[in-house]
């Protein structure tokens, strides 16, 4: 009698655990598009000296919004980690000034993409190529010797995404 009761308890417990596992998996599957973040990579970095102590970096990048909700840009910042480990924050260049940069410095090449700006809306399940130009108060030689470059994109609701290039 006791063995039959133990078998019944084990069977019931196993079925209960199975139902809970299936329910958790179903909830996670349904919620898979609810996490707002941008995923992507930096495609190309072009640098140009403005004078002996200032330089500009033009960064072309591709990103995707894999979530089911739009990503609305609050801010975009570019930073560089120097060869010695120091971090330099770049000052974003406006779209109008970015167009002028390409006119005044033909060595930068062609402007392929629009700049990613505040209040830009990235639709759900959408991939785009964009660019950002940032001015740094370091010589171009130091900018070219960087360890890494990162673009930090913040959503108006708080989530932050970061694209890093080595």
CATH T-level fold of 39-165: Immunoglobulin-like (2.60.40)
- 8 Å CB contact between 56 and 101: yes
- 8 Å CB contact between 131 and 61: yes
Record the pTM. Answer: 0.77
Any bridge partners for residue 92, and if so which?
Answer: 134
pLDDT band at residue 141, thresholds of 50, 70 and 90? Answer: very high
DSSP element (H, E) containing 155: strand 148-155
Q: Mean pLDDT throughout 128-151?
A: 94
Rounded to whole angstroms, the Cα distance separating 149 from 163 reads: 8
Is residue 31 over pLDDT 60?
A: no
- 8 Å CB contact between 131 and 60: yes
Rounded to whole angstroms, the Cα distance separating 135 from 12 reads: 66
- 8 Å CB contact between 73 and 37: no
Domain boundaries, given as residue ranges, for the chain: 1-32, 39-165
Which of 33-37, 135-139, 152-156 is predicted with the least confidence, judged by mean pLDDT? 33-37
């Amino acid at each position: 009698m006791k063995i039959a009761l133990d078998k019944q308890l084990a069977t019931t417990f196993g079925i209960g655990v199975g139902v809970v596992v299936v329910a958790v998996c179903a909830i996670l599957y349904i919620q898979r598009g609810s996490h707002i973040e941008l995923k992507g990579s930096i495609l190309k970095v072009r640098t140009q000296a403005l004078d002996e102590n200032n330089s500009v970096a033009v960064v072309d990048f591709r990103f995707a919004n894999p979530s089911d909700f739009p990503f609305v840009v609050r801010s975009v910042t570019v930073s560089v980690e120097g060869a010695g480990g120091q971090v330099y924050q770049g000052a974003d260049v406006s779209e109008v000034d970015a167009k002028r940069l390409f006119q005044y410095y033909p060595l930068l090449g062609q402007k392929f993409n629009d700049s990613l700006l505040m209040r830009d809306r990235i639709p759900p399940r959408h991939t785009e190529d964009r660019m950002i130009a940032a001015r740094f108060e370091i010589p171009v030689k130091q900018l070219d010797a960087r360890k890494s470059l990162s673009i930090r994109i913040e959503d108006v609701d708080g989530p932050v995404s970061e694209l890093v290039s080595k």
